[in-house]
Structure 1
């Protein structure tokens, strides 16, 4: 890893990006409960062993939601593909990390963690600044289908709303009882859909493809419904804080 390649990870708007990240510093502890629950559902939906929610800080990346990669809690910024995901509008996808590694980050880290696939969608804070990512990873190479890319985008929006709500809850415990119920209900619905896949066996390849497409469509519907519920909760935050 060279100094010049690391500098490619730092956007020209880095100061503004770090300012956008500032409200979420209270969430800087690895492996937080609601995010762990969320990424465990995401991993099942994508049928992968690993899913993460990251915050990309000035010099490191902290995984505040971690399913399947307990050995990674905080890594150097130049060691994480999440540092690349925050720079892109669409998903950052590396289908075969072993043969075609990301040239912007240290390839040894992915090798040591035996990673074969990465897809990450940026989480965006104020003014659209990339502050972190929602990512799914596999131990073997694979492709990200278009329905999966669309679902990842929707779930990244959900994760961004979760960041907003959790930051507010961390500052005001009285909000927790009001918000936990709707959040738990939405996660339960997504978890049920994810678990249905594990219980369903489809032998015919064509039928399997149709089933997966239908499942992705249903997951997108639930993700959008979850976001609507979270947006309602977010709209209530100023009233809750001011007592209006």
Structure 2
């Protein structure tokens, strides 16, 4: 394939110095960067090309090089140990990348540029050099495949074609590597986009949950008041931290030392329900200051919900009660209902069990559904040691281990079986414990409000209030 140059061969014509065009060189360097191959670890595919070139041309040294801005970097080097890169000027490869065809220098000492190269002038003493440029599909020359010998020689046109084929094989390997890099980068970018999207979703969820929790708390009293002779306790749980619930309750003073209380449930959830919740709570409070009669208050709320455009077509259920303190302890309670589940009047009996009576005035209709809705009320005495338990239907619609809803019968049975002090706090805590035992969790919002009359002989000036607002998931149902 190769033959040694004769000492009597005529000296070759001086090769003109090729100076790269600055704009073309900038584009070439950009192509080098595109392949991201500089300073990468050794690669078997490129090493095999260098070894093949050395065997085909029967030379001691063959290399695959990439030409950087100011250096020649060796991607593969057969027979050239310990050399990773050399300066670009004066260069062999640096000149080869400026040509469209292979560069062949039979005798480097007779070439004015090659003679100054460190591989020629130095200890290695290279006398023969041939290189084919590695040319990209868009015409940029990244580097060269080179064969070197310490003896002058010449090669045939077929040899130079073989060298060009080896350079093309190197480019094919670089293209495969670039495709793999692009696929990897695309996958990394996709994963990064997904990660960022997940993080944004989590941030959005947290923001929505925080907003919903904050909004929910504005719709509920921050704390229950202290009412002389009465213990109060409440609990609120939203089925989803992302939704603003429609349940509401409050206890507040009215005229003549009397106190009003209410508990209700707006149809639906979310911003629209929150609007109605805020409207209902505000209306009930204002109406009670004008006339605290429970039926009158519910009629006022019915009118407002039907005429206020912010309420839309939403309605609610509600219980509204009026507490009038009695001499010697206890309260006269008047409760009006607007389509709401019954409250429960509870007291211990002589046998140690709990006496339970549903407070269910007949005829109470949904509030905000019908212009001529009628509302009913009942009056009874809440004596010392007795309690009143109010709730929304999220409690009675919770399903037991048998899959059936707890219902009013189940709640009545639960209250009958209670043991221990019959106080407002105990009633609420027991109901929370009951809900925590529901196997599939609570599917709806739950509001609880309990009142109990203190015994004046043991606590003549007692007034206790407990407030709990919970927005955790059902499996974490509990008082905060």
Q: TM-score, normalised by structure 2?
A: 0.33
Structure 1's unaligned 5+ residue stretches are 1-6, 174-244
1: CA distance between counterparts of 2:179 and 2:38? 10
Cα deviations by residue, 1:56-114 (Å, 9 ceiling, x for unpaired): 0111111101101123211111143011111011111110112x134277334422121
109 and 48 in structure 1: CA distance in 2 versus 1, 3 angstrom threshold: closer
1:124 corresponds to 2:146: no
Count of paired positions: 167
**Other structure's SS at 1:44 match:** helix
Query: Deviation at 1:119?
Result: 0.5
- Rg larger in structure: 2
Moved more, 70-79 or 85-94: 70-79
Q: Which has the higher strand share?
A: 2
Query: Deviation at 1:169?
Result: 3.6
Q: Give the structure 1 partner of residue 62 of structure 2.
A: 51
1:70 corresponds to 2:49: no
1:11 corresponds to 2:11: no
**Other structure's SS at 1:69 match:** coil
109 and 154 in structure 1: CA distance in 2 versus 1, 3 angstrom threshold: closer
Q: Give the structure 1 partner of residue 179 of structure 2.
A: 168
1: CA distance between counterparts of 2:150 and 2:73? 21
Q: Determine which of 135, 146, 149 is the counterpart of 1:135.
A: 146
Cα deviations by residue, 1:21-65 (Å, 9 ceiling, x for unpaired): 112223433643321122111110111111111110111111101
Q: Give the structure 2 partner of residue 38 of structure 1.
A: 49
Q: Determine which of 111, 126, 151 is the counterpart of 2:162.
A: 151
Q: Is the 8 A contact 1:30 1:62 kept in 2?
A: no
Q: Is the 8 A contact 2:108 2:120 kept in 1?
A: yes
1: CA distance between counterparts of 2:42 and 2:153? 26
1: CA distance between counterparts of 2:41 and 2:105? 24
Q: Give the structure 1 partner of residue 102 of structure 2.
A: 91
2: CA distance between counterparts of 1:146 and 1:158? 19
Query: Deviation at 1:136?
Result: 0.8
Q: Give the structure 1 partner of residue 423 of structure 2.
A: none
2: CA distance between counterparts of 1:102 and 1:151? 26
2: CA distance between counterparts of 1:19 and 1:150? 27
2: CA distance between counterparts of 1:171 and 1:75? 29
Q: TM-score, normalised by structure 1?
A: 0.62
**Other structure's SS at 1:115 match:** coil
**Other structure's SS at 1:45 match:** helix
1: CA distance between counterparts of 2:154 and 2:41? 28
Cα deviations by residue, 1:164-216 (Å, 9 ceiling, x for unpaired): 1123345657xxxxxxxxxxxxxxxxxxxxxxxxxxxxxxxxxxxxxxxxxxx
167 and 102 in structure 1: CA distance in 2 versus 1, 3 angstrom threshold: farther
Query: Deviation at 1:153?
Result: 1.4
